[in-house]
Structure 1
Amino acid sequence: MVPEPNNWGRFGPDDQRGTLNLLKPAVVLDALRSATTGEVLSLAMPIRGATSSPAPGTVPHLQGRPLPQHFMSVDGGDYAAGARPIGEGLRVADDALIVTHHGTTTHMDALCHMWSGDELYNGHPAARVRSYGATRCGIEHVGGVVARGVLYDVPGHLGLDHLPAGHRIPAGLLEEIATPRPGDVAVVRTGWPVVWERSRAEYWSGQPGLSAEAGRWLAAQDVAAVASDNAAIGGLNGRGMADESLEDDLHLVLLHRHGIHLIEMLWLEELAAAGRSEFVFVAAPLRIEGGTGSPLTPLAIL
């Protein structure tokens, strides 16, 4: 069996950033030319509510995952007895966040998030991923991402509001929409988050996403990252799992073999409505040392 192409060693034996290395200054400056109106759109889901309210469950998420929660100390409803005084007549409300990311809010997966055998991306030892963090390929190596974003509005291209749960996007359909340049961020809209407001049960019945061949096609185009509004880039079944074999698992194809970071659970409805297929994509994960991922707020500058 012929080994699948990968990027191991391409950016040096110690590399922990993968195809983000393609974002050289000249590529970033070229990407900035994609902005023409200066309008800025957030592509993030909200982090909403606290333990004293039902609000956390009102945002799309996968079942069985801890929800991101927002706490405040104003009225003693959560972690404190009230707003703390800082001087005569003055009080301040403090915020605290308990944030998870995988499957529960807009986030980026680090290259240490998934691996096969005993090796992470680029041959780094998987044994370096421990309960206290990953000493190789953690999210802190990402830094800031500024790139040309290319929107693949697949349901819009097909005349649909959203893709069906069982739909797996083929490479040819992406190619019909656009061919990315090296260093671009491919942003794939399935429209699935709009299903949440209609039916939680339908949202949890599965999710549409990229096929393995589409993932390999994007990797062959040298994209810097792949982003989508679904929870796993690839599709999911009703158990919240991928049906593909390990050989075709998109996290292994993209993260593990090609060093392509994944950004999941975006909100892309306003971007699709704007009718712009190219824009400046900006994102910066939290600098969590050894983190397998991080919440983030991606921006589209039109």
Structure 2
Amino acid sequence: MTDTTTTRRWVRRPEGSTWGDFGADDQLGRLNLITPERRRAAVAEVREGLAFGLSLPLDYPGGAVLNPRRHPPTLRPTALNGQPFMNQPLSLVAERATDVICDDQVTMSLQYSTQWDSFAHVGSWFDADGDGEPEKVYYNGYRAHEHIVGPGDRLLAACGCGEDGSYARALGIANFAESPIQGRGVMVDLAAHLGRERVFVDHALLMRILADDGVVVEPGDLLLIHTGFAEAVLEMNREPDPQVLHHACPVLDGRDPALLQWVTDSGVAALCADNYAVEGYPARDVPGPRAALPLHEHCLFKLGVPLGELWWLGDLAAWLRANGRSRCLLTAPPLRLPGAVGSPVTPVATV
């Protein structure tokens, strides 16, 4: 179910946002900048025909100590007539059949491991009505309890989710599969410069690293941010140490206004990192009301820039550096799962 209204949902838009720039009902944000011309430029980066899988195993990081809301996948067989369908003869349903069948299902948090955040993942209290009272709003003015619904919302039943379900009637992750994410990936190798030290990377430091490596970012590019965090996660073999990981590897400084302005001015279509939140969390403290995740607010709420988290970037980063390159063709559609606010993803980079 997708919202298809054509009435503008806001009187005020956040300063510096793209609300309305791609249409009153836009749900793709800056992914609109990945035009056919930009995809052709991305395909031109394929010279060797080598492919790199950019996903962690989906049972990593392991446990729920990094985020108590999210739990690893649980596999179990499907069943027919009370019989679990693992190593079962198909003769249960078809006489004289010689087939032996395995058929399973999974229960998992959609943002447990390598993932995309949709625009329904993070909104903000913002006075979009211009009446002096803030309301819960998402990208392009879509509303909590009307477009993004959960338990207790009157529109939930119409989504067929049950009274304790949830559903993104707009801004859900399926939009990124229906218009599949494929474009030019551009690697920023923070780990090569900063190692595994916990450094808040502000605009000035990011610009120095881009200049040192000769990295050029253009509108419509998909930025890949290698920090080394995913390598640290894999080394812990599904037993993550939160004290180590919460103090490991570089992170973008979401509190730096200059960095946020660069994200705006660069025209990047998405930010994809190998760490847990792309930005440093908790963010540096500042006085007054503020977003706990300022880069998330800037990208998902204001600009319509998807965020990818916990991607596996180490092998690709090493190959690109060894070959004096920073660009690739990146193909990374999420699950086409209507109503979901996030999704596992198995990105593929081709060089």
| TM-score strictly above 0.5 | yes
Match 1:80 to one of 81, 84, 109: 84
Q: Tell me if structure 2 keeps the 8 A contact 1:138–1:289.
A: yes
Runs of 4+ in 1 over 6 A off after TM superposition: none
For 1:51, the equivalent position in structure 2 comes to none
Q: How does 1:163-182 map to 2 (within 5 A)?
A: 164-165=197-198, 167-176=199-208, 177=210, 178-182=215-219
Matched residue type, 1:91? V
Q: Deviations over 1:107-158 (max 9, x none)?
A: 1011111111232111122232112311121111112111111100012034
Matched residue count? 280
Once residues 107 and 334 of structure 2 are traced to their aligned partners in structure 1, the CA distance between those partners, rounded to angstroms, is 16
1:283 and 2:283 matched: no
The alpha carbon displacement at 1:271 in A equals: 0.8
Runs (5+) with no aligned partner, structure 2: 1-13, 92-96, 126-135, 151-165
Q: How does 1:160-199 map to 2 (within 5 A)?
A: 160=195, 162=196, 164-165=197-198, 167-176=199-208, 177=210, 178-196=215-233, 197=235
For 1:12, the equivalent position in structure 2 comes to 23
The alpha carbon displacement at 1:81 in A equals: 6.6
Once residues 93 and 16 of structure 1 are traced to their aligned partners in structure 2, the CA distance between those partners, rounded to angstroms, is 38
Matched residue type, 1:188? I
- Secondary structure of 1:139's match? coil
Identity %: 30
Match 1:45 to one of 28, 36, 56: 56
1:133 and 2:133 matched: no
Match 1:105 to one of 94, 105, 113: 113
For 1:92, the equivalent position in structure 2 comes to 101
- Secondary structure of 1:260's match? coil
Q: Tell me if structure 1 keeps the 8 A contact 2:116–2:308.
A: yes
Once residues 13 and 247 of structure 1 are traced to their aligned partners in structure 2, the CA distance between those partners, rounded to angstroms, is 28
For 2:71, the equivalent position in structure 1 comes to 67
The alpha carbon displacement at 1:179 in A equals: 3.4
The alpha carbon displacement at 1:258 in A equals: 0.4
Q: How does 1:97-246 map to 2 (within 5 A)?
A: 97-102=106-111, 104-117=112-125, 118-127=136-145, 128-131=147-150, 132-143=166-177, 144-158=180-194, 160=195, 162=196, 164-165=197-198, 167-176=199-208, 177=210, 178-196=215-233, 197=235, 200-206=241-247, 208-212=250-254, 213=256, 214-236=259-281, 241-243=282-284, 245-246=290-291
Q: Tell me if structure 2 keeps the 8 A contact 1:46–1:59.
A: no
Q: TM-score, normalised by structure 1?
A: 0.84
Q: Structure 1's 111 and 30: CA in aligned 2 closer, same or farther, altered over 3 A?
A: same
Matched residue type, 1:147? G
Q: Structure 1's 230 and 59: CA in aligned 2 closer, same or farther, altered over 3 A?
A: farther
**RMSD (Å) for aligned C-alpha atoms:** 2.4
Q: Tell me if structure 1 keeps the 8 A contact 2:173–2:341.
A: yes
Give the number of the structure whose alpha-carbon radius of gyration is greater. Answer: 2
The alpha carbon displacement at 1:194 in A equals: 2.4
1:301 and 2:350 matched: yes
- Secondary structure of 1:26's match? helix
Q: Deviations over 1:250-276 (max 9, x none)?
A: 110111000001110001110111024
Query: Which segment is superposed worse, 29-38 or 247-256?
Result: 247-256
Query: Which segment is superposed worse, 38-47 or 242-251?
Result: 242-251
Once residues 148 and 247 of structure 1 are traced to their aligned partners in structure 2, the CA distance between those partners, rounded to angstroms, is 30
The alpha carbon displacement at 1:202 in A equals: 3.9
